[in-house]
Structure 1
Amino acid sequence: MDDQNKNFILATALSFLVLLAWLIFFPPPEAPQQPTDAALPPSTVEPGAADVVVPPTAAPAEATGTVAPSSDIAQALENAPRVTIDSGSLTGSISLLGGRIDELYLKDYRETLDPEAPIVQLLSPVGSAEPYYALHGWAAQAGVAADDVPNARTIWQIEAGETLAPQDPVTLVWQNGNGLTFRKTFSMDDKFLFTIEQSVENTSGTDVSLAPYGIVARHGEPDDLTGFFIIHEGAIRMTDGELEETSYSNMTELDADPRGRGLVDSVQVTENGWIGFTDHYWMTTLIPPSGESFRSIARYSPSRDLYQTEVVMPVRTVAAGETLTQQTQLFAGAKEWEAIQTYQNEGGINRFIDSIDWGWFFFLTKPIFWLLHELNLIIGNMGWAIIVLTLIIKAVLLPLAYKSYVSMAKMKELQPEMEKLKEKAGDDRQQLQQGMMELYKKNKVNPASGCLPILLQIPIFFSLYKVIFVTIELRHAEWLGWIRDLSAPDPSSILNLFGLLPWSTPEPGSLFFIFSLGILPIFLGISMWLQQKLNPAPTDPTQKMIFAWMPWVFMFMLGSFASGLVLYWIANNVITFAQQYLIMRSQGMKPDLFGNITEGFRKKDTKDQ
């Protein structure tokens, strides 16, 4: 096999493997077990110190300022009062039973493209399909009994405020009857960040020791897991500059808790860190103050099918007559790049931007997304921004591409002589190789340079696919006409003549969806075919047949990819075709696109020159 064909086969194989890798899905997750038990207390305190009973959806009722007996928990849950949450981005409520944030909706995001679709629900109380909530409290230590600190059975009273909103905090209060008064003050900004200030006033006459903590608990895996390896879903934490991601399946394989409470992974954070759960587009994260040490804990309880992340601050002593205050933050919302960047740069949350899953090629993914984001701000349309981004990328790569296209043009011109060498050498592969090397050397042709543009496209393809799949800015982003979500496959289908016939087509992800070609995948196949016409064709009949089928095979393979990625690929092919065509014309070649693939070029005659 000559060097030219070897390089083409290598480039083709690499491209095929790259594309095939993205088509591999994990097996669908099993339906989560519905929990009936409580979230676990922090692992650094005695069991029962923060026993979190998960409530069903509660109806408003009058606060009693008491602790509900265990036997009356169900009734207490039904009657627990709530404080409304209302901001520009969020709506929901805080349950006064336990003082937890367990109902939260994202105003700016709907579940589907239907304008009447329900808005996305992030946090849910127990009794709902997927309980998911956050709470903060105090773990009893020296000098105080477990029953003397508020827990999940505590019914708080409203001391100040009525509705939690930006500039309108709400304070809850509870007295234990033994000289300790606990308060929680909730405040929030106009996006997704809550600030929870907890305090304990000690009038008991003796010193007490307490450990403040925060918990995010999730009962069962979420039903809407993508199951796709390109995106991390599960626990995520930052520990003094080191990012750690633990999927839900890996949480079920953590080490056994020495206290006998499920499985646990606990690390000590010295100065900066955060921990929580991240979904495809949403996240709930506990954020202690910068510069303070704390224990960062990921936990799983098999008996409850309960996933939990915790921050536990160091034990602190409250002297008699003194008041102790602890402030932490909670991010609960959409992983919007601008918001998270602001919380990192202005709010001092260490490496918070890395909560977005940028992947292995982060050094490309981050600048590509930044450029795409800025282009979208200028143009006002993410689809056109992708096309302009492609133009910029191709312009940056043009100097390298120019040399490659010149080399490919010369190799095409040498095609007849290569055929003669093949006939002359017959089955003598060594003679054929020597003859081709002399031919390349004589005409100053580098057969390997033709693969360079393809190889350079691989990390860019990875990075752009990551951007389109992971970032929420592409979710439900329109381009034009029928493309109303660039993060989803083309919804049109050849199976119903693109909507002219009155039947539906297979849903994305189904076995037959790959045959339901949309308009964009068809244009992709055509653009790949046109680009292929400009490349030197293999002399071997088998290789020639493989290359002839490649555009149409890739058309089906990429048909189920996100529309934004297919749009990029089409734009890339069209721009590459134009560049290569003009460069070949400058080298004295006149492409004959609809002629024989092997003899697809002919030398310009005198009058053309």
Structure 2
Amino acid sequence: MDKNTIWAIVLSTLVIIGSYLILPKFFPGLNMMGFGKQANAQTTTEETAEPQEFSLDDSAEVSELSIAADYDEESEDQPALVEQKYTITTDKVEAVFTNKGGDIISYKLLDHKDMDTNDFVQLSDNVNSKNRTCAISFGKAEEKIIDEIFNTETDGKTITFTKTMNVNGKKTTMRKVYSFMDGEYVFKLDVLIHTADSNGLDLGGTSYTIRTSPQIGPHFNPKQNRYERREFITFNGNKYKKIMLSNGQFKEYDKDLIWAGIAGKYFVELMIPSAPEKINTSKYSSQVEVNNYANAQAFIERAAFSGSDISDTYYMYFGPRNDKDLKRYNIAENNGWNLGGKKVTQALQTSGWLNWLEKILKVVLEMLNKLFHNWGVSIIIMTLILKVIMFPLSKKQSLGSLKMQELQPKMQALQEKYKGDQQKLQQETSKLYQQAGYNPASGCLPMLFQFLILFAMYNLFNNYFEFRGAMFIPHWIPDLSTGDVVKTFNFNIPLLGNQLRLLPVIYVGTQLLSGKITQYGQTTAPGQSQATMKFMMYGMPLMFFFMFYNAPSGLLLYWLTSNVLQIFQQLIINKMMKEKRAEKEAGKPAAKVQKTLPPKAKRK
């Protein structure tokens, strides 16, 4: 493997890394709706879904479904009922309900603060009179939500909403029962329907549709918040998938549903039916409803039923997108709802095939944080550990570079000799490498390992829940999950935004210094190789400056620390290489000195 091949690998890797950062910057809508990396766990495979698309706008064809309150003598409902709000609070959440439809209009997580408002995280975002959290519509997702006033009963941490309605002329009673527990991010929603006859409810193959919040919080504006995203996720037939949508789309995915939901970078809403075989399909919306902000909403359509009564149960996980809380619901004995076997931890974002490396790095970071109680310090110490582990490889790479320099004259002679015979040139070059004991691929291993670490670290710092709001240095790096901010301007700087950041500037300085020290004492070949080396020294740091300017400060802290350690490491290696050259030079003169002795000395 020659140098050109090595540089090709490096530059290709840079393009891939850049795509993670540049595409979301210039096309925030893509990242918002789930474009980008796809996870892949060992037990499952993630596939790009091929959903069916349909519209939910005002021009769409909606069935003439008739729903009206029933006020006959058997109904307890009275026209004088007015909208009222009810609140249920546990140690984890505060849920506010309206008796209009029996829906949630506010859902706050009491253990987590919104980084912008310093209030509790509001998970039910974009709620409005036409679209509420856990709202139900008779028929398919295209139909309007039920907006009637329900009778309400509360009992501790349980609230029940009941309403009798005429659905297409059929007397139908719906009951929605929400149950909460302390210590749980899951609440249970029971939906019970009774029809006056035994023909059940069949509205185009569907009986009703249930949904998540219109948008998951904290409040999300993709044009302003480059560190957030929204994803449509589902677990179907033992496979985790992301449903890809652009702004304004509404799509359907009708495979074997286990759960469906929407996810942000740090929080997630999952709808988990206890009887998935009763579900027809799941649907996903990114349509704009409120203040020109797109929704990110998931729907589950329940199949039509015969008979007069049904009782369905849904477990709703509304909480942090982290391993600690989600894994409790993989095993029934670990949670108060005895919920298990649904593989909800598949909702976590991972590095795909690098998931194993990400887990190792996460464990090391967590152990270090227990010792130092500061995530920034833990990152620095972990980087030092990685450098120590990789030192033998880096040393081998540098010594290999020295060997390559020594072989340059012979290689140039071979190139001149076999200028017109490429096959012979390759054979002779390979023979030269063998005779010199040089393996050209040896320089790739340290480089490959470093880029594997970089990929895993990028995903870790970009998704690891514990980095959310993790402070390193007050007033400079208050949050390792976002970029550091020295000053905010009232105007935008092209390619950079409206914030001045110091970490990227320091990073570029250390990268340039590291390159200078690495090249110190080394000879470079003329022509293309020399031009390539100049680009690697000056062009790459500049490219990385723009690529990583808005990267999470945790990632930049890792890379900056790595550069500083690389400088000291290279100084040590340079000294070793200098000594090695001196040893070789010291071994040559003996024969030459003998030839230069004066005649009298020779006779002695």
- Please report the TM-score for the alignment, with normalisation by the length of structure 1: 0.70
Specify the alignment match of 1:48 in structure 2. 65
Gaps of 5+ in 2: 34-54, 70-74, 202-206, 587-604
Alpha-carbon distance in structure 1 between the residues aligned to 2:491 and 2:91: 34
Q: What is aligned with 1:534?
A: 518
**Could you say if the C-alpha distance between residues 139 and 51 of structure 1 is closer, same or farther in structure 2, counting changes exceeding 3 Å?**
farther
> Quick one: structure 1 residues 181 and 566, their matched pair in 2 at CA, closer, same or farther if it must change by over 3 Å?
closer
Tell me how far 1:515 sits from its aligned partner. Answer: 9.9
Higher mean alpha-carbon deviation, 539-548 vs 206-215, is at 206-215
Once the two structures are TM-superposed, the CA of residue 519 in structure 1 deviates from its matched residue by 4.1
Alignment RMSD, CA only? 4.8
Amino acid at match of 1:14: S
* Residue 156 of structure 1 pairs with residue 173 of structure 2: no
Q: Using the TM superposition, give the Cα deviation of residue 351 of structure 1 relative to its aligned residue in structure 2, in angstroms.
A: 2.7
Greater CA drift, 363-372 or 94-103: 363-372
Helix, strand or coil at the partner of 1:225? coil
Aligned to 1:289: 274
> What is the alpha-carbon distance in structure 2 between the residues aligned to residue 268 and residue 186 of structure 1?
29
Match in the other structure for 2:346: 354
Partner residue, 2:435 = 442
**Aligned AA for 2:480?**
L
Aligned to 1:595: none
- Return the offset for 1:379: 3.6
Shift of the alpha carbon at 1:239?
0.8
Task: Give the structure 2 partner of residue 549 of structure 1.
Answer: 538
Deviation at 1:336, TM superposition (A): 2.6
**Cα offset, 1:506, TM superposition:** 7.3
> Partners in 2 of 1:285 and 1:49 — Cα distance?
30
- Note if contact 1:102-1:125 (Cα within 8 Å) is conserved in structure 2: no
**1:7-30: CA deviation from partner (whole Å, max 9, x where unpaired):** 553354234323432323343559
Cα deviation for residue 391 of structure 1 reads 4.1
For 1:585 and 1:465, the matched residues in 2 are separated by 33
Measured at CA, do residues 119 and 175 of structure 1 come closer, stay the same or move farther in structure 2, by a change above 3 Å? same
Distance 1:8 1:602 in 2: 29
Aligned to 1:123: 124
Aligned partner of 2:22 in structure 1 is 23
Residue 565, structure 1, aligned to residue 555, structure 2: yes
Per-residue CA distance 1:124-170 (angstroms, 9 max, x = gap): 46449x96522257769xxxxxxxxx9623322222326xxxxx222
* Alpha-carbon contact 2:472-2:478 (below 8 Å) kept: yes
Partner deviation per Cα, 1:232-257 (whole Å, 9 max, x = no partner): 624211112122212331772xxxxx
Q: What does the per-residue CA deviation read over 1:389-417, in whole Å, with 9 as the maximum and x for residues that have no partner?
A: 334544555565554344234335x2xx6
User: SS at 2:100's partner residue?
Assistant: coil
Task: Answer yes or no: is 1:134 the counterpart of 2:127.
Answer: no
TM-score for the superposition, normalised by structure 2: 0.71
**Matched residue of 1:198: which SS?**
strand
2:252 is the alignment partner of 1:265: yes
SS in 2 for 1:16: helix
Name 1:260's counterpart in structure 2: none
Q: 2:52 aligns to what?
A: none
| Distance in 1 (alpha carbons) for counterparts of 2:385 and 2:22 | 28
Q: CA deviation at 1:4?
A: 5.4
Partner of 1:133, secondary structure, is coil
Q: Decide whether the 8 Å contact of 2:512 with 2:538 is kept in 1.
A: no
- CA distance in 1 between counterparts of 2:563 and 2:174 reads 68
Aligned partner (choices 213, 216, 231) of residue 212 of structure 2 = 216
After superposition, residues 366-381 of structure 1 pair within 5 angstroms as 366-381=359-374
Distance 1:301 1:10 in 2: 39
Deviation, 1:100, is 0.8
Aligned match of 1:59: none
How has the CA–CA distance of structure 1 residues 48 and 489 changed in structure 2, closer, same or farther, with 3 Å as cutoff?
same
**Alpha-carbon distance in structure 1 between the residues aligned to 2:185 and 2:65:** 31
Are 1:170 and 2:159 counterparts?
A: yes
**How is 1:224-243 mapped onto 2 (pairs within 5 angstroms)?**
224-225=221-222, 233-243=230-240
Deviation at 1:465, TM superposition (A): 0.9
Report the CA distance shift for 1:187/1:578 in structure 2 as closer, same or farther (over 3 A). same
Letter in 2 for 1:277: I
Equivalent position of 1:389 in the other structure:
382
Query: Structure 1 residues 567 and 306 mapped into 2: Cα distance closer, same or farther (>3 Å)?
Result: closer
CA distance in 2, matches of 1:186, 1:51: 27
In structure 2, distance between residues paired with 1:349 and 1:506: 51
SS at match of 2:180: strand
1:183/1:563 Cα in 2 relative to 1: closer, same or farther (>3 Å)? closer
Per the alignment, do residues 583 and 333 of structure 1 end up closer, same or farther by CA in structure 2, a change over 3 Å counting?
A: same
Whether the 8 Å CA contact 2:127–2:214 is kept in 1: the answer is no
Q: Output the CA distance in 2 between the equivalents of 1:374 and 1:444.
A: 42
Per-residue deviation at 1:580?
5.2
Call closer, same or farther: CA 1:580–1:227 in 2, change over 3 Å: same
| 1:10 corresponds to | 8
Conserved in 1, the CA contact under 8 Å of 2:178 and 2:190? yes
Superposition deviation, residue 298 in structure 1: 0.8
Please point out which of 459, 478, 483 is paired with 1:484. 478
- For the Cα contact (< 8 Å) 1:231–1:280, is it kept in 2? yes
Q: Distance in 2 between matches of 1:316 and 1:394?
A: 63
The answer to whether residue 313 in structure 2 is matched with residue 333 in structure 1 is no
2:502 aligned to which of 513, 518, 521: 518
